[in-house]
Chain A
């Protein structure tokens, strides 16, 4: 056994590819948070009064809350007064009216990241909204989407252009009273994406938002809202990167999804925030609240996440299954290497009759990483014939990492059926040797074994992103086995 641990633990660090900083003049609010800062953000965004009121209520509520301590993660206390709550690339005069007016340096950044915003160069069939620090820098394909009645724009724009829709739905799934970070986000959210799919429309392309933190000492607090009306269908993907910095940066986002009768929302995340260096210095604190409401009958919300970045990840994309026969799904791959920590999972709240949910979670721990799955399956009294299937698998690479599982199951209806399967495996020297003996070198063998382990989740991702996710996994684990 000693032989095995020795050889497995030779850790080499792969450089974080997205760690560059864009040299762009930005306008940041001074560090600190008070009502004036909240007002300033609202003013900058030229928001209506109701929005400001809502922010202020959230801020006041936040003051009464304390940071949650129950996640299985460790980090020094966060000084909320040392963070700047707003940063925006400086605009020349008026804001950009079209992509042609966006600062070329910003477009360059996105190109470096492989996210071309110029429409002629864009990925076929994917509309992109890009959020740089706190503001959206441009949304592609707006016109084509508008033909179908699909609204896809930045949250700031939505507040101004579609106030009735935003007002109706914002906070309806994640109220500002929900938790500490949701309250904070509600008070200071800067931008994010808004999608509205009208009745009966199948969104003609993948929608995608790309989040980038650039400025230092800033938090990023975006808010995404997706509303799918009756019988509509949308597939949405978000990607995230940040520069390498020594200090930790806070990212506290809120995502709300609303699905009406027979509507379907597929939400995929490839999260690759800067994870910190091999000594655990720096990296993003990714404290996110994501929740979907299956409001209508036979509606469906499916979360797929591939989490490879961030120093600390704390998120539970959840589904409230209110509508009769609605379906919630959660497919997750969470990777921790070096000193990364993740406490992630889902909540499936079954309220309506004949609701169904599926949870497939794959946790991979390498280096000194700590990975926890935390999930709640709750069957309320009226949820007759509800069904849940959960599968939580952990894979350990090396002997210094950890995998933990915290499944909570609450059943208040006797006609429901719940299945929970769990496994923990250690990537075996035997498996690696078997691959070696066939001519495959160790790093490729690890990638192959890990990708095999995650297969059930990858197949849920849209094609082009599945390939991306596999590569990302390879990079994240590079050097984890010597």
Chain B
């Protein structure tokens, strides 16, 4: 058995008396790419938020272990430093804060956490140059303020670029494909594929199958009403594309 990175057991979570995730189980091992698919309101983004530690969510049951530790006990920044990365569905703008400065601060926090020496400006720049090639990023993006005035595609690309620099153990991509045109989608996917490695894992949350034309998952999970109701290989995504979510939901209602 390979190394387990993430293990979610019977997780229930929601906001203000509204349960959104209802007994979810999921295990992600190193080297794996998992896709979580589901219709709107099925709990996809809630799952991403709970894993990253966003405030405002109530955990009403279950447990989440990350590299053997209780993830839910960790502060958001600690999760990040331990290698949990969330590529945001809506990356936030931070006016006046230079992108490069921001990313250097983030990387050095992570390095400090692991007892590694912080990178100086020159070392960091050479790392940036190396990773920029990966994503065909225009270098003027890094001279601008964090996400400020970026197009939708640029923001998403920037998220993947940050992921490339920070080299997470567990990358959660929250609807990274939404709002991307086909070219941007290709670039983002290629980036994600290049970042895949034997020691890390990716959890790709998406509504549509089209991202999975470019990122090939090892597992596809269908999320419906806060639970994973079906798990399969990449062919499950294609089937979903063809038949729609209703197909599974109906089957779910009348177990075979």
Contacts and interface: CB of A to CB of B under 8 A. Distances in A.
Contacts of A440: 77, 105-106, 109
Interface of B: 52-56, 75-77, 79-81, 85-86, 88, 91-92, 94-97, 102-103, 105-107, 109-110, 113, 145, 162, 166
Going nearest first, the 4 A-B pairs with the smallest beta carbon separation are A452-B96, A452-B97, A438-B106, A439-B109
Contact of B91 (A4, A434, A453): A434
Nearest to B109: A439
Interface string A434-458: 1111111110100011011111100
Of the listed residues A4, A439, A452, the one surrounded by the most CB atoms of chain B closer than 10 A to its CB is A439
A37 B105 CA distance: 57
Of the listed residues B92, B105, B166, the one surrounded by the most CB atoms of chain A closer than 10 A to its CB is B92
Interface in A302-350: none
Interface in A1-38: 3-4, 7
Interface stretch (A62-70, A209-217, A233-241, A424-432): A424-432
The secondary-structure label for the interface of chain A is helix
A436 to B, nearest CB: 4
Interface residues of A, number: 26
A234 B55 CA distance: 51
A433 interface: yes
A33 B76 CA distance: 59
A437 B76 contact: yes
A459 B107 CA distance: 25
Contact of A439 (B88, B113, B145): B113
Given A448-B105, A452-B145, A437 B94 contact: no
Contacts of B80: 436-439
Contact of B92 (A430, A448, A454, A456): A430
Given A437-B76, A439-B113, A429 B55 contact: yes
B92 A431 contact: yes
A444 B105 contact: yes
A124 to B, nearest CB: 23
A440 B76 CA distance: 9
A436 B75 contact: yes
A3 B54 CA distance: 11
Contact of A428 (B53, B79, B92, B102): B92
Contact of B86 (A428, A437, A452, A455): A437
A453 B92 contact: no
Nearest to A393: B95
19 contacts: A4-B56, A429-B55, A431-B94, A433-B55, A434-B91, A434-B92, A436-B53, A436-B80, A437-B76, A437-B86, A438-B103, A438-B106, A438-B162, A439-B80, A439-B166, A442-B77, A452-B96, A453-B95, A454-B96
B75 A455 contact: no
A431 B109 CA distance: 17
Contacts of A4: 55-56
A451 B97 contact: yes
Contacts of A438: 80, 102-103, 106, 109, 162, 166
Contacts of B102: 435, 438, 448
Contacts, number: 79
Contacts of B55: 3-4, 7, 429, 433
A76 B103 CA distance: 48
Contacts of B107: 439
Of the listed residues A7, A435, A453, the one surrounded by the most CB atoms of chain B closer than 10 A to its CB is A435
Of the listed residues B77, B79, B103, B162, the one surrounded by the most CB atoms of chain A closer than 10 A to its CB is B77
Interface string A398-436: 000000000000000000000000000000111101111
A334 B91 CA distance: 29
B95 A436 contact: no
Interface in A163-205: none
Given A433-B76, A434-B88, A439 B110 contact: yes
Contacts of A442: 77
Given A438-B166, A452-B145, 11 more contacts: A428-B92, A431-B94, A433-B76, A435-B106, A436-B53, A438-B109, A439-B106, A439-B107, A440-B109, A448-B97, A448-B105
A3 B56 contact: yes
A449 B106 contact: no
A449 B77 contact: no
Of the listed residues B97, B102, B105, the one surrounded by the most CB atoms of chain A closer than 10 A to its CB is B97
Contacts of B76: 433, 436-437
Contacts of A3: 55-56
Contacts of B54: 433
A476 B107 CA distance: 26
Contacts of A453: 95-96
Contacts of A441: 75, 77, 109
Nearest to A1: B56
A431 B90 CA distance: 11
Interface string A453-480: 1111000000000000000000000000
Nearest to A3: B56
Contacts of A451: 96-97
B106 to A, nearest CB: 4
A444 B81 CA distance: 15
A453 B145 CA distance: 11
Of the listed residues A448, A454, A456, the one surrounded by the most CB atoms of chain B closer than 10 A to its CB is A448
A396 to B, nearest CB: 15
A455 B96 contact: yes
Contacts of A7: 55
A307 B3 CA distance: 54
B82 to A, nearest CB: 9
A255 to B, nearest CB: 29
Contacts of B106: 435, 438-440
A116 B81 CA distance: 41
